[in-house]
Amino acid sequence: MRNLQFNKDTGPKPTKTLLAEASTLAKPNTDDHLVVAMALRPNGVTQNEVITLLGHPHRNKLKKLLQDNKVKQYVLPDGTRATRVRLVKK
């Protein structure tokens, strides 16, 4: 995986535990894997955080996990216009 810079605009780096959990939902060491791990964080993820980190939006994998009923989605308050989404593995 490339060297990505996490900062206040991207939120905290996912922990090893979250990365391991994301490995059961997405192919490890891919952008999908990282986005899923970010969405599993307690504070979830916004598309702005994903775009800041990866340079492009990343909705398809999250949508597919929801359609396949592998995760449950929670929309968290964010205080901005962005939608903050948290996923919880079923």
Nearest Cα to 1, choosing from 45, 33, 37? 33
Domain that holds residue 71: 16-89
Distance CA 24, CA 17 (A): 12
CATH number at residue 46: 1.10.10
Work out how many domains the chain is built from and give that number.
1
Over residues 4-14, the pLDDT tens digits come to: 889 999 999 99
Tell me the average pLDDT across 44-69.
Answer: 93
Helices 31-40 & 60-67, crossing angle to 10 degrees? 60
Residue-level pLDDT at 1: 53
As a whole number, the mean pLDDT across the chain is 92
Assigned domain for 1 exists: no
